[in-house]
Amino acid sequence: MATSALARRGEGTSLSTIDFSGRPDSQTFRSVFSQLPSGVTVITTVAPSGSPRGMTASAVCSLSLDPLLLLVCIDNRSGTLATLLDCGRFAVNILRDRHGEVAEAFTGPGPRFAGLAHSYADGLPVLDDALAWLSCRVHAAHPEGDHTIVVGAVTATGRSHGEPLVWHAGSYRSLAPSALLSHQAISRRRSGSCSK
Ligand SMILES: Cc1cc2nc3c(=O)[nH]c(=O)nc-3n(C[C@H](O)[C@H](O)[C@H](O)COP(=O)(O)O)c2cc1C
């Protein structure tokens, strides 16, 4: 069905308020993508002085199982990007639900690691309270538009238990327990192997 017809039907929450005509601009693109929830990470690396450096990033994705690769998309203006490429190594710290302020600290102008417990794992700064982390060697860097896709070859990982921080529509959220759906239970039900 054409988007204009869908918009007339007002399907979804606010389709009728979205202008589908004309070429989407960066603001529309951001607004549309804000509907896709993501986890929140802090990308860390080491400056030539030896001090830790880091930034908040949600554009992080697993890429390959053999070899183990992940990717992170970083704005070309980011100081962390330059440091990370220079260092050749970085870590992805997956934040937990109570880490909204940590995410804000790593995107703002103030000191980022001040008062935040961190240790060195596999030679990289890792947040002590991270839900999970992966350390990487820079495998490739592909400039695309105003960002660079950094591909990391995973060299070490760690994880603890808890719930992740979620970024959605410009706000930090946590997962609602009532929304839990088991992937395995749904697949079993769909394949008819479960009588319930
Ligand atoms: C929730 C959230 C997610 C973000 N995700 C990204 C991202 O994936 N890539 C990116 O380049 N910037 C992202 N940013 C913005 C950077 O954190 C911000 O530009 C930061 O100041 C960059 O620091 P730097 O210039 O010191 O490297 C995000 C910010 C927030 C609050």
Structural domains of the chain, ranges and CATH numbers in brackets: 1-33 (no CATH), 34-174 (2.30.110.10)
From CA 84, how far away is CA 182, in angstroms rounded? 37
From CA 124, how far away is CA 44, in angstroms rounded? 7
Taking alpha carbons only, the member of 141, 120, 135, 145 closest to residue 43 is 135
Q: Which atom of ligand 1 is nearest to the CA of 104?
A: 31
The residue length of the chain stands at 196
Q: Tell me, in angstroms, the distance from the centre of ligand 1 to residue 148's CA.
A: 13
Q: Which atom of ligand 1 is nearest to the CA of 108?
A: 21
One digit per residue, the tens of pLDDT, for the chain of length 196 reads: 344 444 444 444 555 556 666 788 999 999 999 999 999 999 999 999 999 999 999 999 999 999 999 999 999 999 999 999 999 999 999 999 999 999 999 998 989 999 999 999 999 999 999 999 999 999 999 999 999 999 999 999 999 999 999 999 999 999 987 777 888 888 888 888 654 4
Kindly report the protein residue whose alpha carbon is nearest to atom 7 of ligand 1.
57
From CA 52, how far away is CA 44, in angstroms rounded? 7
Task: Check residue 26 and give its pLDDT.
Answer: 94
From CA 152, how far away is CA 45, in angstroms rounded? 12
> Per the confidence metrics, is the pTM higher than 0.85?
yes
Hey, which residues does 23 pair with through a beta bridge?
Answer: none
The rounded Cα 29 to chain-centroid distance in angstroms is 17
Q: Which atom of ligand 1 is nearest to the CA of 77?
A: 25
- Which class for 59: exposed (0-12), middle (13-18), buried (19 or more C-beta within 10 A)? middle
Q: Tell me, in angstroms, the distance from the centre of ligand 1 to residue 102's CA.
A: 12
Q: Tell me, in angstroms, the distance from the centre of ligand 1 to residue 78's CA.
A: 8
CB within 6 Å of ligand 1 — which residues?
A: 40, 55-59, 73-75, 78-80, 103, 107, 167
